[in-house]
Each structure stands twice: as C-alpha cells, then as structure tokens.
Chains A and B, each alone.
Chain A
Amino acid sequence: MALIEVEHLKKYFNVAAGINHAVDDVTFNIEKGHTMGVVGESGCGKSTLGRTIIHLNQATAGTVRLNGEDITNASGRKLREIREKMSIVFQDPYSSLNPRFTVAETIMEPLKESHRYSKAEIEEKTQALMDLVGIEKRLQNAYPHEMDGGRRQRVGIARAIALDPQFIMCDEPVSALDVSIQAQVLNLLMDLQEEKGLTYMFVTHDLSVVRHIADDISVMYLGQLVETGPTKEIFSHPTHPYTKALLSAIPSIDVLHPMQRIQLKGEITSAIDPKPGCRFAPRCPYATEACSQPQTLRDLGSNHHISCCRAGEI
C-alpha cells in the first residue's frame, strides 16, 4: 500500500516577476518502506515538492494523503499529529542545526515538544538515538561548529528519527559532504530504513546516489514531473528526452567506456508564469508543435509513467 499519495499537487509562489509555478501538477505514490528518489536540477521544485508533502509549505492545490488520509489542509492538533509521523533531513548540516544547541539538546527537542515522555525517558532516548546514528557519547555537549559535516548530518538524522516517524523527506542529505563521509551517511540511512521500516523521499541532484539508494525515481523539470518509475527501469530505459540527457551528463569514472553525451542546448529557464505545454520543449532536440499542448502523464506499463507526447516515437 502506498504510504504517501500525491495527486495533482501544486505549489505556487508570488514573486516580484509573477507567479512561480514551483510545483505544478505532480502526481505520484510512495510505497511503504520504499525510497522515492526525486531528481532534477536546481530550481526544478524538488525541494518545494518535499516540503509541501510534509506540510512545511501549504499546498496551493491538489491532495496529499498519508496512509490514505487526506492531510493537505490539516491544521491544529491534526497538523501536530502528522508532523510527528513525517520528518525532514536537511541538505546543509551547518544551517540546519541551531548553533546554540548542543548535540543532546538538538536531539531532545522533538522528544520534549511531543510532551509524551518524562525527563528520564527523554535522556534515555537521546542516548539511544546517539548510539543508533553513531555519535560518540562524549560529543553530547558539543556544539555543531565543533563537529565535522558528517557528524552534524548524523545529529540531523537522529533528530529526524527521534519520534519514530513513518516518512522522512531527505533534502539532499549528502550533497554537502565529501565522498568518503557521504558513503558513511548513505549507509546509515539505509541501515535505519531496514531497521525501522522507514519510507524515504530522497531529493537529490546526484543521480549516482539516487540510483544507489532509491527504489523508484521521479524526474522533475521546472516544477513538472517528466518521468517516474522503478529505478532499474528508468536507468535501463530512460524514455523522456530530459531523463536521457540527464543520465548522459553524469561524469563517469569508467575511463575505458566513456559515455556518449547528449548535449542539451541552452539553460534552464524559470517556472515563473510558464507557457502551457512541455517546459522542456525549448531545449528538447525532439520538440514539435504538439509539445506546446498541455502534457499528461502516460502509463508505459510496469509503473513507468512519462509526460511526453512523443514518448513512443523517439
């Protein structure tokens, strides 16, 4: 059963230049215990999508369901409840921890705010959480700036899992870390998923990371979902021209078989007051007249969906 169901979700922002269609009509499901990787380049709305799902942003339109229950317009006590079931791990381990809170204080905070535990229980749980994410006990009174990025990110993860949430939105949790540390944190996230049956939404621009950790992938471009499906399927049969270009653009360490690169012309424009139709069309090598019509998500079978009117032809 799908833990998270997102239907026609929209999040618009009013900006000086007009209306930013940051998330525009996104539909997908995240299965329980699975990891949904959301990939795209900066400004494609992947972070906004995640934040709208976990209710840090109020959706403009559409529905988000958690365990089949509509939570789109939750407020008051209901909102408090769903926020205990969903949490977030941030990209920047520097700005996501309060510089004046020690490690223990940071991890304790959600436990305290839930008003469910006694002081002793909170202490005990904090210790357990620190053990779980691999933070040494001697660091409990350390401040964030006294630790390296990897440890800071572990603290952020401990805070996120403190209340045993069902769903964690990971917003580029490893992109600020060095490769060797990145691998440590990815392993931790996967271990926790196994142990606690967590469901992740993994937002990243790094396709090799997403391939490694995600069961399903959604590719976004300027607020729209262009392709979604199982990871293996997407990597072996990328269908949308943008997905193809994105996959070919990853620098490969395979020096013997360099990948043939699909060179995209131009740069990402913006999602402010966009024209109807496929937003990738201006850069797409296969664009035709039909691409300026509104696109719908088409089913290619085996859970593989794509939003491209020329899907079968190219």
Chain B
Amino acid sequence: MKKNPDKKKNQFVMTLQRTVENKVSLIGLIILGALLLMIIFANVIAPYDPNYMDVTAIHGTPSARHILGCDQFGRDLAPYDPNYMDVTAIHGTPSARHILGCDQFGRDLFSRILYGGRYSLALGFICAIIGFAAGVIFGSPVGYAGGTTDMVVMRLCDIFSAIPGQLLAILISSALGTGYFYTILAMTIGGIPNSIRGTRAMALKEREMEYLEAAEAMNVPKWKIVYKHMVPNIVSPSIVGTTMMIGNSIMGAAGLTFVGLGVGLTTPEWGAILSNSRSFFSQYPHEILFPGLVLFITVLAINMIGDGLRDALDPKLKR
C-alpha cells in the first residue's frame, strides 16, 4: 500500500518486472527469446550465401561439419543454406544430418525454418504493431468524440469489413505486386478496421469516466485528454488482440504465398514452407508438422507474453 516516496519507479521497468514475475508470461518470454536468438544468429556465419547454388554441393556427400554445426551456438546453427538442395535427402525424414528432415527439393527444413523465422516473425510483428497503432491513433479519438465523427468512421470500417480479410489481401497484393513490403501492406489493411473498432469500443466506455471530465475542466487540450489520459487506460485489452494478430498475419501471409502472391516462393518464409509442404503431407507429415509446430509454439509464446503484459500494464493489480 505504501510506497517509497523518494523513488518514483520507471513505468517501463516496472511493467517489465511484473511481466517477468508472472510465470506464464516468463515461460513465453523464454521461448520467444530462444527462438529469436536462433533466428537472428541463423546466418551470422552461414555456410553458404543464401542465393548461392553450388551444383557440386548438391551431390556432395554430407560432411561432419554439418552435423557438428548443429550443436554449436549461433555460428553454424543453420547448417545449410535454406535454398540448398540436398538431392540425396529429398523428402528425407529427420536424421542426424538433417535434424528436421528435408523437403521435396532436398532443402534442409531446419535451416529453412530458421531463416524463414526472420521474415515471418518480422512480418507478424510489423503487421500487429501497425494494426495496434492505427487502432489507438484513430480509434480512441473517434470513441471519445462520439456523435457524427464516430458514425462516419464506423461506417467506413463497415465497408472495409464487408470484404473478407483474405480476399482484400489478395486484391491488394495482386494490384500492387508481390514482395515483402506489399505483403505487409496487404495483411495490415484488412486488420485495421477491426483494430479501430476495438479501441473505439473501449474509448466509448472510458469516456464516461469522470477523470476525463476533470481533465477538461483543467484546460487540458483535447488531444492530450485522449492520448495522455485515456489511451493508457484502454490499451491493455487490445494487447491480447494484438498478439493474436501476429499469428494471424503470419498465417495470412502464408495464404498469400500459397496463391502465388505474397513474399515469393524462393523466400523461406514460414507460410511458404507450410503451403509448399501441404501437398505432401500425407506421405511426409514431418514436412508440415515441424514448421507448423514452430509457428504454433511461437504464437503460443506470444500470447502468453501478451496475457502477462496486459496484467502487468494494469496498475490496479499492483501490490
């Protein structure tokens, strides 16, 4: 109840502390951290240039380097170039050489997943952050203002929502072209109306609170009332939604890749790996199982962190 008067704790540090104190979110953080490290260091000193295709290497017998490399941290974590095709190991099941097996071109799945994580996770985070930011920036003033503004913006959102998200993404992608940037754009635009709607609903509820009226009576400018007073009090519930958006965006991007749009087939993005493996999954289930598992674990970890973060951001739950 009582606090040390001479120490005003940093909100960010406090939030982090409280997130870590929560066991569930701590586990999530550890998983995600490990994953990120692996992904980041996957290519630090990769054995091959990502675009390098050595014909002799395809037929080359596996060397001890590959196997030992798996055990070392970082440097040789990804034992193979993601696009390197090991013809001897086409559809190969997990072995000491290819710990997660290979796909139909003999490409090492483990390496592809690690490299792919860079694209997929970044895409998921960027999409979620854009969606979250758009929701907060546009949704909260709309909810606070209410009335005509609210009605107009909501109808606009309705129009967007009338088109199925995936279809909209395909439309945008095919209009603008493929590539990483356009994929992010395509994935984000579909999510923004929902995000705005969510934040606006929270703002609508919060606007009845008297502290906002108090701020108005104290001459606090409207934009400050919205962004300084109201927003910190309404974002916590959106955090969980945002973490869900990460998974959704990764899956959505995978869908785009599947129909031939999106990032492009050569990029070892998780969606691409999954949609590629889909055609073989009855004979070679490991090809879809491992990338699927990694995606599942990632999304789970992010959601665990999100839950903890939401609680940590709530000052009322402080001891």
Q: Which of B5-25 contact A (CB under 8 A)?
A: 5, 7-9
Tell which of B5, B208, B210, B233 touches A140, judged by Cβ atoms closer than 8 Å: B5
With A56-B213, A95-B210, A95-B211 as contacts: A159 and B5 at CB distance below 8 Å: no
A102 within 8 A of B: yes
Q: Which residues of B contact A92 (CB under 8 A)?
A: 210
The interface centre, meaning the residue of A54, A80, A98 with most chain B CB atoms within 10 A of its CB, is A98
B2 within 8 A of A: yes
B215 touches A138 (CB 8 A): no
Q: Which residues of B contact A145 (CB under 8 A)?
A: 315-316, 318
Tell which of B5, B208, B232 touches A100, judged by Cβ atoms closer than 8 Å: B232
Q: Which residues of A contact B214 (CB under 8 A)?
A: 88, 90, 96-97, 156, 159
B3 within 8 A of A: yes
A109 within 8 A of B: yes
Q: Which residues of A contact B216 (CB under 8 A)?
A: 56
A87 within 8 A of B: yes
B217 within 8 A of A: yes
How far is B210's CA from A69's CA once the two chains are assembled, in angstroms? 28
Closest residue on chain B to residue A54 by CB atoms? B217
A143 within 8 A of B: yes
B215 touches A141 (CB 8 A): no
B218 within 8 A of A: yes
B219 within 8 A of A: yes
Q: Which of B31-61 contact A (CB under 8 A)?
A: none
Closest residue on chain A to residue B212 by CB atoms? A98
A141 touches B233 (CB 8 A): no
Q: Which residues of A contact B9 (CB under 8 A)?
A: 141
How far is B229's CA from A141's CA once the two chains are assembled, in angstroms? 17
A83 touches B316 (CB 8 A): no
B209 within 8 A of A: yes
Q: Which residues of A contact B1 (CB under 8 A)?
A: 142, 146
How far is B315's CA from A145's CA once the two chains are assembled, in angstroms? 8
B210 touches A110 (CB 8 A): no
Q: Which residues of B contact A114 (CB under 8 A)?
A: 219
Closest residue on chain A to residue B215 by CB atoms? A109
Tell which of A96, A100, A109 touches B210, judged by Cβ atoms closer than 8 Å: A96
The interface centre, meaning the residue of B5, B219, B316 with most chain A CB atoms within 10 A of its CB, is B219
For the A-B complex, the count of residue pairs with Cβ-Cβ distances under 8 Å equals 83
A113 within 8 A of B: yes
A84 within 8 A of B: yes
How far is B218's CA from A84's CA once the two chains are assembled, in angstroms? 7
How far is B315's CA from A96's CA once the two chains are assembled, in angstroms? 16
A68 within 8 A of B: no
How far is B8's CA from A86's CA once the two chains are assembled, in angstroms? 31
How far is B225's CA from A56's CA once the two chains are assembled, in angstroms? 14
Q: Within the complex, what minimum Cβ distance (angstroms) separates B142 from chain A?
A: 20
How far is B5's CA from A92's CA once the two chains are assembled, in angstroms? 26
How far is B222's CA from A80's CA once the two chains are assembled, in angstroms? 13
The interface centre, meaning the residue of A56, A84, A109 with most chain B CB atoms within 10 A of its CB, is A109
The interface centre, meaning the residue of B8, B213, B218, B315 with most chain A CB atoms within 10 A of its CB, is B218
A99 within 8 A of B: yes
The interface centre, meaning the residue of B2, B211, B219, B318 with most chain A CB atoms within 10 A of its CB, is B211
A8 within 8 A of B: no
Q: Within the complex, what minimum Cβ distance (angstroms) separates A196 from chain B?
A: 18
A98 touches B233 (CB 8 A): yes
A137 within 8 A of B: yes
B5 touches A137 (CB 8 A): yes
A98 touches B229 (CB 8 A): yes
A138 touches B219 (CB 8 A): no
How far is B210's CA from A90's CA once the two chains are assembled, in angstroms? 7
Q: Which residues of A contact B219 (CB under 8 A)?
A: 80, 83-84, 110, 113-114
B3 touches A109 (CB 8 A): no
B211 touches A96 (CB 8 A): yes
A98 touches B211 (CB 8 A): yes
How far is B219's CA from A83's CA once the two chains are assembled, in angstroms? 7
B129 within 8 A of A: no
Q: Which residues of B contact A101 (CB under 8 A)?
A: 229
Q: Within the complex, what minimum Cβ distance (angstroms) separates B157 from chain A?
A: 23
Closest residue on chain A to residue B224 by CB atoms? A113
Closest residue on chain B to residue A145 by CB atoms? B316
B220 within 8 A of A: yes
The interface centre, meaning the residue of A80, A88, A92 with most chain B CB atoms within 10 A of its CB, is A88
Tell which of A83, A87, A99, A113 touches B315, judged by Cβ atoms closer than 8 Å: A99
Q: Within the complex, what minimum Cβ distance (angstroms) separates B220 from chain A?
A: 5
Nearest first, the 8 closest Cβ-Cβ pairs linking A and B are A96-B210, A110-B218, A98-B211, A138-B5, A90-B210, A95-B209, A95-B210, A145-B316
28 contacts between A and B (CB under 8 A): A83-B217, A83-B219, A84-B219, A86-B217, A88-B213, A88-B214, A90-B210, A96-B210, A96-B214, A98-B211, A98-B233, A99-B211, A99-B316, A100-B232, A100-B233, A100-B315, A113-B218, A138-B4, A139-B2, A140-B5, A141-B4, A141-B8, A142-B2, A143-B315, A143-B318, A145-B315, A146-B1, A146-B318
Chain B residues within 8 Å of A, Cβ to Cβ: 1-5, 7-9, 208-211, 213-220, 229, 232-233, 315-316, 318
Apart from A97-B214, A109-B220, 19 more pairs, CB < 8 Å: A56-B216, A83-B218, A91-B210, A98-B215, A99-B316, A100-B232, A101-B229, A110-B218, A113-B218, A113-B220, A138-B2, A138-B3, A139-B5, A141-B4, A143-B315, A143-B318, A145-B318, A146-B1, A159-B218
